[in-house]
A = this chain, B = another copy of it.
Amino acid sequence: MTVKHIQTPGRSTAIAGLDAIFQPQSIAVLGVTNTPGTVPHDIFVNLLSAKFQGVVYPVAPRKRHIAGVRAYDYVLDIPDPVDLAILVFPGAVCEQALKQCIEKGIKAAIIISAGFREIGPTGVEREKRVRAIASEAGMRLIGPNCLGVINTEPHVLLNASFARAMPAAGNIGFLSQSGALCTAVLDYAQGKGIGFSKFVSLGNKADVDEVDMLEYLATDPRTSVILMYLESMSRGKELIEVARRVTSEGDHPKPVLAIKGGRTAAGAAAAQSHTGALAASDVVCNAVFEQAGIIRSSSLEELFNSAQLLAYQPLPRGRRLAIVTNAGGPGVMATDAAIEQGLEMARFSPETAVKLKKALPAAANMKNPIDVIGDARDDRYVAAMEAVFNDEGVDQVLVILTPQSMTNITAIAKAVCEVHDRFRSSGKTLACSFMGAKDVAQGIHILQQHLIPHYILPEWATDAMTKAVHFRHWLNRDRTGFKEYRMDMATADAVITKAPDGYLTEADALKVLKAYGFPLVDYKLTQTADEAVAVAEKIGYPVVLRVVSPKIVHKFEMKGVVLDLQDAKQLREAYIRMRENLLKHVSAEDIQGILVRQMIPAGKEVILGINRDPVFGHVIMFGLGGIYVEAFKDVTFRVVPIREATARSMVNSLRASGVLRGLRGEKPSDVGAIEDALKRLSQLAQDFPRIAELDINPLIVHPAGEGCHVADVRIRLQS
């Protein structure tokens, strides 16, 4: 084995195995042809023309040479050791070729070829076999059905892809589940002067997936920001765990940004048709990103706008933005965007005001946004930038330029770079927007060369700045663990184990919640009106009656519920009437009894739930109750288990969370009690995989300190 292992603490053997893919010293390309303009030819030429620092061997049966390089009939004919195999044979031939690679002792492979899972059942089987072959031999595998892999490190210079050109070197790592998107991204990034450390087309992810790549790039000193385009995720919980570690632990936490394709039903269907993978539901995906600290983007523009700022600039200390512009309108537009996105306009210190007044003409606007006016040359930009870089009330600086007739664009660009370097130790975040295209091009080039993030539109800069602030908040968040409750698991287990698939009865569902410490009101299942009255005398009026019957799902509609019974007379009458009425619809043996329950005092209605996602497993849901909230669809989700801080963030992330904090001078609700219920729910879901669905609807929340009460619950089991 000739791969150089850079030993990094905490790297698993499996992850270290990826070095053979990204840092090979020798590569065999299996299936090369002599026809330019085809993948099996171009990929080989790309390896050569990217100036790969190792050696490449074309394997092409019955060819003497490819692109001037001596070819071999079989991989086994190669006289030297080989680190990495790249397969461009047709899909059907790959199995055989892979076996030969293993025989040759090759430890990693990239299967470019299509013809696997994405073509249907035959392909699915083929992919399974390929995976099994590799896995048995301990071989790591990228693909199949991918564009390949790029590593820009100068001692490697690997372009093992059929992309048109090798990208510039940079500190951004990029992963994509869509190979074709890669070609667009490479071309797009080139136009913006963005460089990459590693560039990976994951294809069908038969072996290496985004979780492996996150682990690998976490230890890559050349990667400081990781971007992903994903359409499906097969290892949900691992993704959360690994991404969380990458984005928040160690000396250099790395921001991870992702686009998830297939957000809509139509998009998910399209994604499935081309990758053959089932997409997780979008709300769950949002939850995963939230819990993992992954910054979600909805377009390439947004993705790269954020990536540039995070890759090139120090993380903002806070939200306070100073704008320096030579144009009023764009200053106004940038201010609007900054405020709407969630930044704050910095208020300058008196010293800054004095400096600005001294340096700028009278007609200039000295307040934020600082307007150095249309005839400004580099000296005014320098003065204004110095002033705000020196102001302690400023966290971030945005420099806007419009190409007016007196604007010396390149001189200003150079001055911006100079000031930036001079204030490097300030730790402030700088971005620029030289607005336009042709006239400003040279200025932009100077900024890009200097790794100062540039945006054609100021609103893109402020969007990136906002996302960077969010990442700062993520790093600074309360690091909490998982609260462990001591529950009466035995009781819950007894109920759940003996119950068949389907809905639990209300009494059983309440028993489970009680065992898990949920706040219930006193209740008892009764068989006669006398018994009900006796129970009510004990628990106290007013009470509620609810029928318990597996045959009656819609209790309210069937008049199986009566509220607010004030005394024995009312109770007795209601009990008899309800029973008589129900017996018209169901037989006596279908009625297990009638619950007598304390009436819950008034409060705010919220909804808590558990669902099971095919990819991520149990998911907890939280929302405000009532008809308006249904109209606004204001609910939030998290994957189980949830941390202490996650429960808090669920409550806070509702758009209408103000209702719980107390609007119009109302008392705030007992938010702590809700958080407690959410954490108990998480533990319940973890303990009982058979719970397929659970709805507490509503949970009635009382004012702070007075707790909450479960008013109704449904639990469905499914093995």
**A binding-site residues for B, Cβ under 8 Å:** 37-39, 42, 114, 118-119, 162-165, 176-181, 183-184, 186-188, 190-192, 229, 231, 259, 261-267, 269-271, 273-275, 298-301, 326-333, 335-340, 345, 363, 365, 367-369, 371, 374-375, 402-406, 435-440, 456-457, 459, 624, 626-632, 634, 655-659, 663-664, 666
A632 CB to closest chain B CB (Å) equals 6
Contact B274 A164 (CB under 8 A): no
- Give the docked Cα–Cα distance between A327 and B269 (Å): 15
A571 to chain B, nearest CB (A): 24
Given contacts A274-B332, A299-B333, 14 further A-B contacts (CB under 8 A): A39-B405, A163-B405, A164-B439, A178-B328, A178-B332, A179-B329, A180-B327, A259-B333, A262-B332, A273-B328, A273-B371, A300-B435, A628-B629, A632-B632
Which of B118, B165, B190, B329 is the one whose CB lies under 8 Å from A231?
B329
Chain B nearest Cβ from A167, distance in angstroms: 11
- Cα A259 to Cα B333 in complex, Å, equals 9
Q: Of A271, A274, A299, which is in contact with the most chain B CB atoms at under 10 Å from its CB?
A: A274
Min C-beta distance of A227 to chain B, whole Å: 13
Give chain B nearest CB distance to A460 CB in angstroms.
8
Q: Are A263 and B405 in contact (CB under 8 A)?
A: no
A363 and chain B: residue at smallest CB distance: B119
| CB proximity of A401 to chain B, nearest CB, Å | 9
- On chain B, the residues within 8 Å of A440 by CB distance are 187
Residues of B within 8 A of A456 (CB): 188, 301
Interface centre among A183, A329, A438, A663 (most CB of B within 10 A): A329
Q: How far is the CB of A357 from chain B (nearest CB, A)?
A: 15
A655 in contact with B630 (CB, 8 Å): no
Chain B min CB distance to A335 (Å): 4
Q: Closest CB-CB distance, A120 to chain B, in whole Å?
A: 10
Question: What B residues does A165 contact at CB under 8 A?
Answer: 439
Tell me whether A328 and B659 are in contact (CB under 8 A).
Answer: no
**Closest beta carbon of chain B to A267's beta carbon, Å:** 4
Tell whether, in the assembled complex, residue B627 and residue A180 are in contact, meaning their CB atoms are under 8 Å apart: no
B190 A264 Cβ-Cβ under 8 A: no
CB neighbours (8 Å) of A119 from chain B are 363
A162 touches B340 (CB 8 A): no
Tell me which residues across on chain B come within 8 A of A270, comparing CB atoms. Answer: 328, 331-332, 335, 365, 367-369
